[in-house]
Every structure is written in structure tokens, then in C-alpha cells.
Amino acid sequence: MTEDTKAQEAIAAELEGRVGEFNKELIPLLGKYELGLGASAFVNPNGTIGARPIMFDAKKKEAEPTKEAEAAPAEPAKVVEG
């Protein structure tokens, strides 16, 4: 390995550590505020790929009744004698 390769690996490892620490703080915050984080990819004029962050609502919705359940009236329970 050359000095340049070792230096690049050290920089990449340091960046990965910072990203890991950032995620440790970010993920609980997203959960606290019931938000999600995504990205939309695009191609730059120079051919590289970039991304734009997208925030979205991650609030859990209550289960909505299905259309079939709304259309059909509830039938009374049948009593089985044995």
C-alpha cells in the first residue's frame, strides 16, 4: 500500500465514523417527530449522480375499514346448540 492509499482509507474511515454518530442521533429524532427521510436521485451535467433529500410523514394511520366491510351489514352471531 502506498501512503496515498493509506491516507484515503483513513479519511474514509473517519467519515464513516462521523456518519455513524450522526445516524445515532438522527434516527431517534425522526421517530420522535414521526418523520421519514428519503432521497431522489439525479444525474449532474458532469455525469455524476447526486441526491436530493425528501422528508415525509411516517405517522402511523389507524386501520381504515375496507369497502367490503362498509357495504355489507354486520350479521348477528349464530348460536349453535349441540
pLDDT in the model for residue 80:
60
CA distance 53 to 34: 16
Helix (H) or strand (E) holding 54: strand 49-57
- Spatial contact of 36 and 27, defined as CB atoms under 8 Å apart: no
Task: Name the pLDDT band for 10 (thresholds 50, 70, 90).
Answer: very high
Between 82 and 16, name the one with better pLDDT: 16
What contacts 55, CB < 8 A, 6 or more positions away?
A: 35, 36, 37, 38
Q: How confident is the model over 15-66, as pLDDT tens digits?
A: 999 999 999 999 999 999 999 999 999 999 999 999 999 999 999 887 766 6
Helix (H) or strand (E) holding 21: helix 3-32
